[in-house]
């Protein structure tokens, strides 16, 4: 069993993964979504009995608010009611060059301080250093309990280092000093929104023109620092790409293919980077993959994702009759249902009255 549940995280990501035996699965949590997602995440957690409430891995892909805010709220308690085997999260201490011993970075300081406060395992798989793909090396691989294999694809050292100046600027603008846990916890205590409750178109597109539109890569330092990986369990696999930059992913996948002696990477599903942004889903990326399921996590608010160019690249270059799974039926996703007959795209939405969507691999 390999089940991916995209919780309804508004314009953000909150992905709940279960694998193994149906009666006692292993779990991974990727991101928390913006603050309004917290109640949905808590409700999902409470469906699991407390003695079984454990994540083998919790990944906070990067510091953008739509990925990290509910993680802050989840950790901002006196005592956690769940266990975690490891947390992958790149913070201030991981942004310095390797040869030296909404404000996402501020929330990153909160998460850093809370991880320390609870004594949680932090980047244990990387000897407590940065979650990063070394320059010129094969993408690192890790085995989780229960047989899940993870292959890291992003970030690289260059893009992770680029986050440092922006992090420092934003944190200091908030009156904090980067990396000082005491200051971050004091500031967090004043932020009510991070306190848990008990502590407080037409569809007529030119697919070819859109798919072949000039690609301009995302250049955001926070997105470039995003953790992305391939998760393989038994004969099933899915790529969870956060908001990672396409060139970083392409480079990592090409190295992985060379290492495996393969021409294309066969995966069962892909959580598209940056909610299906035109600047993160490139033709080059899609053509490296053989995949039939593409997952999009967003309600389309604020940034109106997914972009038509990204979906068009999947239609044209993503294989025969690709399937796209949306965790919301919204104005930016409904239009693809209207084009499905013409384009061959198989579109999936939550059942009526349901929130979020579950994908069984």
Whole-number pLDDT of residue 192: 67
Whole-number pLDDT of residue 97: 52
d(CA 167, CA 188): 17
d(CA 323, CA 294): 6
Whole-number pLDDT of residue 183: 83
Whole-number pLDDT of residue 200: 40
CB 89 within 8 A of CB 32: no
Q: Which CATH superfamily is domain 2-360 in?
A: Ribonuclease Z/Hydroxyacylglutathione hydrolase-like (3.60.15.10)
Within 10 Å of residue 266's Cβ, how many Cβ atoms? Answer: 10
CB 69 within 8 A of CB 63: no
CB 38 within 8 A of CB 70: yes
182-216 pLDDT tens trace: 888 888 877 768 877 644 454 567 899 899 988 98
Whole-number pLDDT of residue 199: 45
d(CA 267, CA 289): 7
Whole-number pLDDT of residue 103: 40
CB 203 within 8 A of CB 43: no
Domain residue ranges of the chain, discontinuous segments joined by +: 2-360
Q: What is the mean pLDDT of each run of 10 residues along the chain (361 residues)?
A: 97 97 97 94 95 97 92 90 96 65 69 93 94 93 98 94 84 78 82 66 73 92 96 98 98 98 98 96 98 96 90 93 94 84 88 88 96
Whole-number pLDDT of residue 81: 93
User: Which residues are within 8 A (CB) of 324 and not within 5 positions of it... i.e. 6 or more apart?
Assistant: 293, 294, 295, 296, 311, 314, 336, 345, 346, 347, 348
């Amino acid at each position: 069993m390999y089940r991916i549940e995209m919780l309804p995280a508004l314009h953000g990501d909150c992905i709940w993964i279960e694998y193994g035996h149906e009666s006692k699965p292993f779990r991974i949590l990727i991101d928390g979504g913006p603050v309004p997602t917290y109640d949905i995440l808590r409700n999902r957690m409470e469906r699991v009995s407390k003695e079984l409430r454990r994540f083998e891995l919790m990944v906070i892909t990067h510091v953008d608010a739509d990925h990290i805010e509910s993680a802050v709220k989840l950790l901002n308690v006196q005592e956690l009611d769940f266990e975690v085997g490891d947390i992958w999260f790149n913070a201030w201490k991981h942004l310095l060059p390797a040869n030296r011993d909404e404000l996402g970075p501020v929330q990153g300081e909160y998460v850093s301080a809370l991880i320390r406060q609870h004594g949680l395992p932090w980047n244990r798989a990387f000897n407590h250093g940065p979650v990063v793909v070394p320059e010129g090396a094969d993408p690192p691989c890790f085995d989780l309990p229960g047989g899940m294999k993870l292959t890291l694809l992003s970030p690289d050292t260059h893009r992770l280092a680029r986050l440092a100046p922006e992090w420092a600027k934003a944190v200091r603008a908030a009156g904090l000093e980067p990396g000082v846990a005491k200051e971050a916890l004091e500031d967090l205590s004043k932020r009510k929104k991070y306190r848990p409750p008990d502590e407080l178109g037409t569809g007529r597109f030119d697919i070819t023109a859109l798919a072949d539109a000039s690609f301009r890569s995302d250049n955001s330092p926070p997105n470039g620092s995003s953790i992305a990986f391939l998760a393989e369990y038994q004969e099933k696999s899915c790529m969870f790409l956060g908001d990672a930059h396409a060139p970083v992913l392409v480079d990592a996948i090409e190295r992985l293919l060379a290492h495996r002696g393969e021409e294309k990477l066969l995966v069962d599903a892909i959580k598209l980077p940056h909610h299906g942004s035109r600047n993160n889903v490139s033709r080059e990326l899609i053509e490296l993959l053989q995949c039939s399921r593409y997952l999009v996590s967003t309600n389309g608010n604020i940034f109106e994702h997914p972009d038509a160019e990204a979906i068009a690249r999947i239609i044209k270059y993503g294989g025969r009759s690709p399937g796209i799974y949306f965790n919301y039926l919204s104005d930016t996703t409904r239009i693809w249902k209207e084009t499905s007959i013409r384009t061959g795209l198989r579109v999936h939405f939550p059942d009526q009255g349901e929130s979020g969507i579950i994908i069984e691999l």
